[in-house]
Chains A and B, each alone.
Chain A
Amino acid sequence: MSRAATTRTFPAALADLADAVRQLEGLTAQVGPFALYPDACDREPELVAALCRALEVPLTFDAPARDRDFALVGLAAEIRRAQRAPELAGLCAEDAAEQARRLRQEENTRYRTHAVHRPDGSVITVVDAGPPDAPCVLVSPPCALSYRLSLPWLTALGSAYRCLVIQTRGTSERIAEPEVFDQRGHDVVHQVDDLLAVAEEVATGPVHLMGICGGAAVALAAAAWRPDRVSSLSLWHADLELGEEAQKTDHQINLRAMLDLAGESRDTAAWLRGKLTSGPMTGVPERIGPLVVRPYATAELFYRYARLTAATMHWDSRQTAVKVDRPCLVVTSDDDDTAHPAGSRRLAEIIPGARLVSADHGNHLDAFRATPGQVACLTSFLAR
């Protein structure tokens, strides 16, 4: 059978498995080879190993079973699920690997990557999709979370807009000397400067800034400080500090308390991570679980996540919200039990002329889904 004929018969399940592997490429890019438990590829070990090689995601499946680490379970969940698809049984691993390479090549053509070098030595990774000369949307995602969480937005906006997603400093390049992360700084001011540098160096002309969850605090500050670089702003399920003026959920309170503790030192982060991952982790979503669990993968990544995210959670956004003079859209849902909708409502009151859209229902991760309704909401705002 010819290679072309073989390619035509590859099932969608293979693309699903390749995506599951690629959800961990950001992790291995930072920490190098990473061991998961053998049961992650219990049905198709050769196929999974071939895909890992083809996609250059150096995973091994030999983590010792003693003292099971539930972050590893969460990181492996999608590979474990995807490799069980009956359609994959009997596939030639070598041919599947070749197809996976093609899938990656196609995706990398759609989603270009840039590196922005900052004066302090940080290298900021930016993922770029859509026509280069189209109006630009710059996404400010929650700290330390992979650009892959934002792919639905890149796909949905990609025909009419150029869409950029920034990766938080210290969360994409290979970790050689961990302490360099502290020396370079990780406060909101640093994160805002990175966002503005991307707007200046990668985008052409003023951008629409899209702040999602904790990324809203950074987007808001960038819009307040450099209105010349920002044409408009949208804030989706914003998780930010507004003092006593906005109620918080239990999740916001508990997460900030945990991150404050983890950010005290690398030793404390390691201790806390050990406690957290010694039992099943609740609230890990299907399909994108590994992307959400990634900040807990190692003690160093957890420490960085804590420092970066605690900075945004403590940053008083009232001081920047009142200074925003760009058109602003604030989106939330009445039953978001992760980032309390009261924060978005209050934000819309503080930002001069802001428009509030609050859905009756929708969970926090809906901010990443780019549903037709959300896309229509954003594009009609952009076309105003």
Chain B
Amino acid sequence: MGTPSLDGTANGSDEERLDRILAVTREVLRDPGVAADDDLADHGGTSLSILRIVAMANRALHLDIDPRELDGAVTARNLARAARPLG
């Protein structure tokens, strides 16, 4: 079974987006063991490191993430779900 899609449906682009966000997350947290549904706080994530992920997603992936749309625990999946392509 592959990685679940962001919205629960088989959607390749969503999976790709999640993979990219996850890669950025692992790089910023310097932790290759972060999984898509892990609470980033459990891996040392702070508002500063999450901001850096948001900034890198903007610059490198051309995705805009509005932190206001993050509900509950911050995970790579939630970040990818909140991400919108830059206009």
Contacts and interface: CB of A to CB of B under 8 A. Distances in A.
Interface of A: 67, 250-251, 254-255, 257-258, 261, 272, 275-276, 278-283
Contacts of B65: 275
B1 interface: no
Given A251-B48, A258-B51, A279-B50, 11 more contacts: A250-B30, A254-B49, A258-B48, A261-B55, A275-B66, A276-B51, A278-B67, A279-B47, A282-B46, A282-B47, A283-B47
B55 to A, nearest CB: 6
24 contacts: A250-B29, A250-B30, A250-B49, A251-B48, A254-B49, A254-B52, A257-B55, A258-B48, A258-B51, A258-B52, A275-B54, A275-B65, A275-B67, A276-B51, A278-B66, A279-B47, A279-B67, A279-B68, A279-B70, A281-B47, A282-B46, A282-B48, A283-B47, A283-B48
B68 A272 contact: no
Closest 3 CB pairs of A and B: A279-B67, A282-B47, A254-B48
Q: Which of B30, B65, B68, B70 has the most CB atoms of chain A within a 10 A radius of its CB?
A: B68
Contacts of B50: 279
A251 B30 CA distance: 12
Nearest to B50: A279
**Chain B interface bracket (under 10, 10 to 19, 20 to 34, 35 or more):** 10 to 19
Nearest to B30: A250
B49 A276 contact: no
B28 interface: yes
B44 interface: yes
A244 to B, nearest CB: 16
Nearest to B69: A278
Contacts of B30: 250
Nearest to B41: A282
Contacts of B29: 250
Q: Which of B29, B48, B68 has the most CB atoms of chain A within a 10 A radius of its CB?
A: B48
Contacts of B48: 251, 254-255, 258, 282-283
A255 to B, nearest CB: 6
Nearest to B64: A275
A230 B41 CA distance: 44
A278 B64 CA distance: 14
A283 B46 CA distance: 8
B68 A254 contact: no
A275 B28 CA distance: 17
